[in-house]
Amino acid sequence: MKLKAFSTVAAALLCSAGAAADFTFIPKLGYAQKSYSLDMGDGFPSNKDTITATATGVVWGLTVAHSSKWYFDFEQFDGTGNHKGFVENDDDFIRSEVTFSFGRAFGDGYTGFMGFRHGGSEFRYPHFDETGDLDNDAAGLFIGGAKRFNLDATSNFSLSAGIAALTAEFKSFHTDPGIDAKGDTIGYSLGAAWNKRVMQKWNVSLGGRYQAYKYDDVKDSETVIGDQTETISALYAKVGYIF
What pLDDT was estimated at residue 11?
Answer: 54
Q: With 60 as the cut, is the pLDDT of residue 34 above it?
A: yes
Query: Which residue range(s) make up the domain with 77?
Result: 2-241
pLDDT, tens digit (0-9, with 9 covering 90-100), for 63-76: 999 999 999 999 99
Q: How many Å apart are CA 25 and CA 108, to the nearest integer?
A: 23
Q: How many Å apart are CA 117 and CA 211, to the nearest integer?
A: 12
Q: How many Å apart are CA 91 and CA 81, to the nearest integer?
A: 8
Q: How many Å apart are CA 83 and CA 94, to the nearest integer?
A: 9
- Count of domains observed in the chain: 1
Once rounded to an integer, what is the mean pLDDT over residues 155-172? 94
Q: How many Å apart are CA 161 and CA 192, to the nearest integer?
A: 9
pLDDT, tens digit (0-9, with 9 covering 90-100), for 89-141: 567 899 999 999 999 999 999 999 999 999 999 888 766 555 457 788 999 99
pLDDT above 90 coverage of the chain, percent: 62
- On whether the CB atoms of residues 86 and 123 are closer than 8 A, the answer is yes
What pLDDT was estimated at residue 45?
Answer: 52
Pairing of strands 202-220, 91-105: unpaired
- Domain CATH for 20: 2.40.128.100
pTM for the whole thing? 0.85
Once rounded to an integer, what is the mean pLDDT over residues 80-84? 89
Q: How many Å apart are CA 51 and CA 38, to the nearest integer?
A: 5
